[in-house]
Every structure is written in structure tokens, then in C-alpha cells.
Chains A and B, each alone.
Chain A
Amino acid sequence: MKHISTIAKTERKSSVMGCGECQSSCQSACKTSCTVGNQTCKQEERINSTQKKENI
């Protein structure tokens, strides 16, 4: 495309949603605001760490 370039989009590898295994956002660093957009998904972490091991 000439005018528009997509520089990021979410490509979720896992179909699992709402498993609740991720960290509570308030346990990370804030305690007075709520920021979830920067948290990580435990399922994705597991997939990534498995892929990393497989690639070694």
C-alpha cells in the first residue's frame, strides 16, 4: 500500500482465553493505576519458551 503501512497487529498463537494463569496487573509495579495492556499472557510465555527450547 502506498499511504498506509501496518506496523503491528496481534497474532495470537494460543486459542486459550481467560485461563487466569497470568499475573495480576496490580502485583507488577503500579498499585495505584490499572494497566493491563503491557502484561504478558502465561500461555504465550509457555509457547514461546517451548519454541525457544525446540530451536536450540
Chain B
Amino acid sequence: MRFITHSFPFTYKGETFYLVYHPYSNSLHSVDKKAYLVIKHKYEELSPQELADFSALSAADVTEIESEIAELEAQGLIGFDQTFPYQKSNLVKALCLHVCHDCNLRCKYCFAKEGTYNTARDYMSKEVAKAAIDFLIAKSGSRKSLEIDFFGGEPLMNMDVVKFAVEYGRAAAKEHGKEFSFTMTTNAILLNDENIVFLNREMDNVVISIDGRREVHDRVRTTRSGVPAYDHILQAAKKFRAVRGDKRYYIRGTFTAYNLDFSNDVLALADAGFDQISVEPVVLPPENPMAITADKVGQVLSEYDKLAEAYIDRRANGKWFNFFHFMIDLTEGPCIMKRLSGCSAGCGYLAISPVGDIYPCHQFVGESDYKIGNVLEGTFDPAVPRKFAEITVNNKAKCENCFAKYYCSGGCVAASHYYEKDLFTPYGAGCEMMKKRLECSLGIYAVEKKYAKKR
């Protein structure tokens, strides 16, 4: 019987690391080339060249390696699969609050359709914000840690409501024995001194959107009147970074088919002085010229390899930064329930539109078929959350034999909906990118572990 195990080479500066990852025990093993061939032969398919190399191994070597594999199996670190039953929950713990469906930028790739989500350019009222917070508290049951992300459009365009929601949320949390974590995702156009002080004080995490190099950024992100916005955003973000200290923030970029060499954008952000960086593939239908279509995925994967090498170099040479998709926690990390359910969109995590409509997540806002209710009207149809509670990696057939399934939980539900037209089918190109990012994360871990010992 073949159990899910992923054996792969990772190359850093001409040195090949042979690695074996077992998803059920979340264990990583560094092996020599001979062991790599024997393990891969046992659990996966060897390439023709690898098969030839395997056939050339001596019987003594194979016997010795098989005995080591048996030791790992006895320790529960390889050679078994396991089914983890998912415990469903109908509690809500996080809301994405669309405080404003308007935006002061006109990004050409915006999945939110210039911030509107194909709805009116509405601004959330204090009444809706209050009702949303009350709704979250009422639906959170025994959960103590609750979250609200101020999102848009551009949330800084409705700061009065953001400030009200924070103040009301803190008071309500105290009254009900809850703790609120607030976050904001902003384009920084209105990130003035006053807003910097407020966000730094009140937000547990601040995500600022910048796309990397100036020419890349300004090609796709301009103001409403078409003025390039890079310089303004960069200066505001740098100012925020300077006061942020060691509190959480991310500089969050998007790459498109226009900048498939996006490792240069990640490094440009690091050069600008940011040390918490996330740059993600664009979400667009394949007919859009900026979309990451199947024919471009290979180039994206190579770019992750390139980035991984530069990443290790910089971190080892006094230019440490963190790339969101290369982070991995192999010693602790999330529990298996979290790994099964992922973002829990549609049940634990919901989005609220400016008029109070409830949707499974921010990317579903405006999709009338997925409207769950309205916080102001006090309506809530449990049918949609019931359906979304079924979307665990256990119920995605394509994930069954994937080594990355407990890393991404089967991927973004909205991507499944928009690209695959099925909530239970993971977005194919997204899977390839996710698997490569996991390989890079594991490879970086192995390299840094080896050379940290020597430093």
C-alpha cells in the first residue's frame, strides 16, 4: 500500500537537499540520494532516470535504508495515512466588515470591481456596524477570541465608522467576556499621521497594499483620475512601518501576468525597508490579460524557486525579512481541526456588506445566491452556513492524495467557486502554486537549519 509521502529535491546554490515530508505527522526528513530513491520508490513514482539510479543501488544499501524506514514507521513519522473526523461548529468568530464600497484607487485587477462588488458605492453606517458586532457576539457562543477586519473598498474612507466600531466593540467585548482583535486592510492613500496613530494603537494587524516595484505598481494601480500612486503609498507605508515597531503588519502585493518576475517585487519591498511581506497571485478570470492562466503557472513556480534562494541569502546576511507564503511551523502550528477547515468561510468567518448583508466571505459579497441574511434586519438563513461547514479537505476528492492538503485545507473556497464552478473542487492552478510554496518553505527550513548550526 502506498501512503502519502512527498519526496523532493530542493536546490540551494548548487547544493541539492533531498527531503521527505509526511503530512500526517507533519514531519520533515533530510535524506541522502540513496534513501531518497528508496523512499520515493516505496511511496511514489520514480522518474525514468530515478528508476535507473534506483536499480543501480546495491542490495546492502537498500536493506540498510529499509531498516531505517522501518524505524521511522515505528516512530509514527512516515508510512501511514490517517483520517481525522471533522467536528462541525456553527459558531462565528470572525467578520470581514466592508465599511465602504468605494475606493480612491482604480486597480485594474480589483476583484472587488473598484471596491463596489457590483453593488452601489455604499458606506456602512454606525447602525450597521453596531448590528454586525452584536451579531458576532451573539453567534460566537463560547468563543472568547473574536476578530473584525475592516475591509472595503477602502476602509480609511469611512474612518468615523471604523473608530465607532472599535470603541463599541471594545465595550461590548468587556460586557460579554470576549476579546476583540481588529485588523485593517488598506491602500494607505489616506494613511495620514492621525490615522497612523489610531491604527497603530487599535489594530492587531495592519495590511497595506503595495505591489512592489514602481513601474509594476503604477501600471495597474492609479488614483481615480489616473495619477500613479506608488510614491504616495510607499511614503505613507514607510511612515507607518517606522512607528509600528514589532507589532503585526504586512505589506501585501499582488502579482499578475504583467510581472511574472515577481520575486523582484518582493525583494524591492524588502529593499524599501519592510520585513513582513506577502505577494499573492491575482484573482482574475482566464480571459483577462493579467490573469495567471495555466500556461503561465510554470513560470510562477520557477519564480518561487528563485525567490527562495534570494530569501535564504538575505536572511543569512543581515537582511532578514518574512515572506508570508514561506512561513511554516513544523513544530507546533495549527491543530488538525483548523487544517481540515481552513479559513472556515461561510460558517466561522463571514463578511458583512455596507448595508448589513451577510455573505460567506469578502469574495462572495454581491453574489445574491450566497446571501445569508442581514444584520440590521436580524435575518439569518442557516442553509448556506450548513453547506459551507461541509467544505473541509476531507470532502474534496482532488485533495485526497495530496501532500499539501493540511497546509492549505483544499484552498480558497471563493477560488473554487469562481474558477472551478464548484465549492468542493480546488482551484487547479492555485494547487500547483500552493504545492510549490510548501516545497520552498520546507526547503528553506532545511537549509536554514543546516547552516544555522554552522554560524
The 0/1 profile, CB within 8 Å of B marked 1, for residues 12-56 of chain A is 110011111111111111111111111111111000000000000
Question: Given A20-B91, A24-B348, A26-B345, do A12 and B332 touch, yes or no (CB 8 Å)?
Answer: yes
Question: Given A20-B89, A24-B344, do A6 and B333 touch, yes or no (CB 8 Å)?
Answer: no
CA distance A42 to B342 in the complex (A): 15
Interface residues of B, dominant DSSP:
mixed
Centre residue among B87, B250, B344, B441 by max chain A CB count within 10 A = B344
Question: Given A25-B343, A26-B349, A28-B324, do A2 and B64 touch, yes or no (CB 8 Å)?
Answer: yes
Contact between A6 and B408, CB atoms less than 8 A apart? no
CA distance A7 to B18 in the complex (A): 12
Contact between A34 and B343, CB atoms less than 8 A apart? yes
CB neighbours of A2 from chain B (8 A) = 64, 68
B56 at the interface (CB under 8 A from A): no
Contact between B207 and A29, CB atoms less than 8 A apart? yes
Interface residue count for A (Cβ, 8 Å)? 42
Interface residues of A, dominant DSSP:
loop
Contact between B343 and A10, CB atoms less than 8 A apart? no
Centre residue among A25, A31, A37 by max chain B CB count within 10 A = A37
- Chain A's closest residue to B27 (CB) is A9
CB neighbours of B411 from chain A (8 A) = 33-34
Instruction: Name B333's contact: one of A30, A31, A40 (CB within 8 Å).
Output: A40
CB neighbours of A32 from chain B (8 A) = 111, 254, 280-281, 283, 363, 412, 414-415
Contact between B343 and A26, CB atoms less than 8 A apart? yes
Supplied contacts A5-B31, A24-B348, A36-B343, 16 more A-B pairs, CB within 8 Å: A3-B31, A3-B35, A4-B31, A6-B28, A6-B29, A8-B28, A18-B89, A24-B343, A31-B151, A33-B280, A33-B281, A33-B408, A33-B411, A35-B324, A36-B339, A38-B328
B residues touching A (Cβ–Cβ < 8 Å)?
20, 25-32, 34-35, 64-65, 68-69, 71-72, 77, 87, 89, 91, 93-94, 96, 111, 143-145, 147, 149, 151, 181, 183, 185, 205, 207, 250, 252, 254, 276, 278, 280-281, 283, 324-325, 327-339, 342-345, 348-349, 361-363, 406-415, 430, 434, 437-438, 441, 445-446, 449
A residues touching B (Cβ–Cβ < 8 Å)?
1-13, 16-44
